[in-house]
């Protein structure tokens, strides 16, 4: 399929380019010393990860350990409550550890093992990436340091406990807003001192090349599975595909299966409390071009041009930028990016729980909320939502802060 001069038949062979750019977004904006480490990872990815042995081992892990493929569920009761549009969800909440994150973590740590590394370093916001990384490290017998902001540690206590039980060293980050951006800062700093023996396993399609490409490729299993499953279930493609976007790993994986199809694709950013800077984390809606954490993309900036403070009820979405591929697809117009606020998200969280028996991650509830609004506008057709994770981690925080609404 051709779209605005881009041939999506060959898209994944051409993007990113050899320098890690999706158009003008991406690249490698780090010290010369760390560039050498990125080049080592890039070379290993294109040799080791393309080998029959690596692919066979990763496929076995996905089937026997992760429980893939994850199913698609038809949300019949929720659909009926909204009208004629039929809603479906790709159940990444049923992937081992309860979210999509393990898809790229097992790939990254398997690569680290092949490279002879002894340790993995990672950051986490909601804790899903941290739990997945701790799980992968335990599986492969590697040391694991997880950097997490103190604000998120308080919000996501169940996931902190899981990481520690799995044997990871959880490093509390207290500077700045003490959320995801600061956790990434701290993890990068630690990696710069340990890169010879460790690998930094970035938790999304962000960071310097090759990470946006690697994470997308490992996550593409979600979209590839979903497309085949939806065709088998319904005999046709969905009219729309929806996923939440923070850094954008679950969305990149889901979208990968449908970019070459005549399907409307929507990425949903967190509007939080409103449009005022500091009250949301909707970088693609309100940001401008800028460099942070080693890559060029669209980011929210303060008056000095530095990354702005951000907020979302979802710890996994409160990041002041988005992956460079999302910036590219946004500029191209192939993917529509929109926003959903906290109130609509919480309403969707409880509606999905009570009508379908599925408690979603609060990140995923953003996508559900948007799909519910979209269904009312469409009037007919089908929507496939990526349910990127389950909501166990969020329940204590939501009950304490918002309570449980009456039926």
**pTM of this prediction?**
0.95
Let me know: does 351 contact 403? Beta carbons within 8 Å. no
The pair phi, psi for residue 52, each rounded to 5°, is -60, -40
Let me know: does 180 contact 318? Beta carbons within 8 Å. yes
68-103: string of b/e by CB count within 10 Å (b at 16+)? bbbebbebeebbeebeebbbbbbbbbbbbbbbbbbb
Domain boundaries 35-62+101-211, CATH class: alpha beta
Rounded Cα distance, 148 and 136, in Å:
18
Catalytic member of 90, 101, 113, 155: 101
Catalytic member of 113, 220, 388, 393: 388
- Side-chain half-sphere exposure of 128, counting CA atoms within 13 A: 33
All residue ranges of the chain with pLDDT < 70 are none
Let me know: does 38 contact 28? Beta carbons within 8 Å. yes
3-class DSSP assignment, residue 147? strand
3-class DSSP assignment, residue 299? strand
Both tokens of residue 198? 């460790």
Q: In Å, what is the CA distance from 63 to each residue of 95, 114, 397?
A: 10, 20, 33
Is residue 101 annotated as part of the catalytic site, yes or no? yes
Rounded Cα distance, 179 and 316, in Å:
10
Q: Please check whether the two domains, 35-62+101-211 and 67-99+219-402, share a CATH topology.
A: yes
Q: In Å, what is the CA distance from 127 to each residue of 250, 311, 361?
A: 15, 16, 11
Is residue 388 annotated as part of the catalytic site, yes or no? yes
Both tokens of residue 160? 């902190």
**Tell me, what's the pLDDT at 147?**
96
Angle separating helix axes 395-402 and 342-356, nearest 10 degrees: 120
**Tell me, what's the pLDDT at 78?**
98
Catalytic member of 92, 108, 123, 182: 123
Predicted confidence (pLDDT) per residue in 217-234, tens digit:
999 999 999 999 999 999
In the chain, what are the domain boundaries?
Answer: 35-62+101-211, 67-99+219-402
Let me know: does 384 contact 238? Beta carbons within 8 Å. yes
Q: Which fold has domain 67-99+219-402?
A: Rossmann fold (3.40.50)
Is residue 63 annotated as part of the catalytic site, yes or no? no
């Amino acid at each position: 399929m051709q779209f605005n001069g881009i041939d999506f038949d060959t898209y994944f062979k051409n993007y990113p380019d050899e320098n890690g750019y999706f158009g003008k977004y991406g690249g490698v904006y780090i010290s010369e010393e760390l560039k050498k480490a990125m080049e080592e990872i890039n070379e290993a990815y294109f040799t080791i990860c393309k080998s029959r042995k690596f692919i066979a081992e990763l496929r076995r892990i996905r089937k026997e350990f992760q429980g893939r493929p994850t199913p698609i569920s038809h949300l019949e009761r929720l659909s009926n409550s909204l009208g004629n549009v039929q809603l479906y969800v790709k159940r990444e909440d049923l992937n081992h550890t309860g979210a999509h994150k393990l898809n790229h973590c097992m790939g990254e740590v398997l690569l680290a093992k092949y490279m002879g590394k002894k340790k993995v370093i990672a950051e986490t916001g909601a804790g899903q990436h941290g739990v997945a990384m701790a799980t992968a490290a335990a599986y492969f017998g590697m040391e694991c340091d997880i950097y997490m902001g103190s604000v998120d540690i308080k919000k996501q206590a169940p996931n902190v406990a899981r990481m520690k039980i799995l044997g990871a060293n959880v490093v509390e980050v207290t500077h700045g807003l003490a959320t995801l951006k600061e956790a990434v800062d701290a993890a990068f700093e630690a990696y710069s001192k340990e890169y010879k023996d460790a690998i930094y396993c970035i938790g999304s399609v962000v960071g310097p090349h090759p990470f946006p490409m690697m994470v997308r490729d490992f996550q593409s299993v979600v979209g590839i599975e979903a497309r085949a499953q939806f065709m088998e279930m319904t005999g046709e493609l969905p009219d729309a595909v929806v996923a939440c976007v923070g850094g954008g790993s679950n969305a990149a994986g889901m979208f990968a299966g449908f970019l070459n199809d005549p399907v409307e694709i929507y990425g949903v950013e967190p509007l939080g409390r409103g449009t005022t800077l500091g009250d949301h984390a909707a970088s693609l809606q309100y940001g401008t071009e800028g460099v942070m954490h080693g890559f060029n993309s669209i980011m929210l900036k303060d008056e000095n041009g530095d990354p702005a403070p951000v907020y979302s009820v979802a710890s996994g979405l409160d990041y002041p930028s988005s992956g460079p591929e999302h910036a590219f697809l946004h500029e191209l117009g192939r993917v529509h990016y929109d926003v959903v606020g906290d109130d609509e998200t919480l309403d969707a969280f409880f509606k999905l729980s009570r009508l379908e028996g599925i408690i979603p991650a609060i990140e995923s509830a953003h996508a559900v909320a948007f799909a519910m609004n979209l269904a009312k506008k469409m009037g007919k057709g089908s929507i496939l939502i990526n349910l990127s994770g389950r909501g166990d981690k969020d329940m204590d925080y939501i009950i304490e802060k918002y309570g449980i609404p009456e039926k």
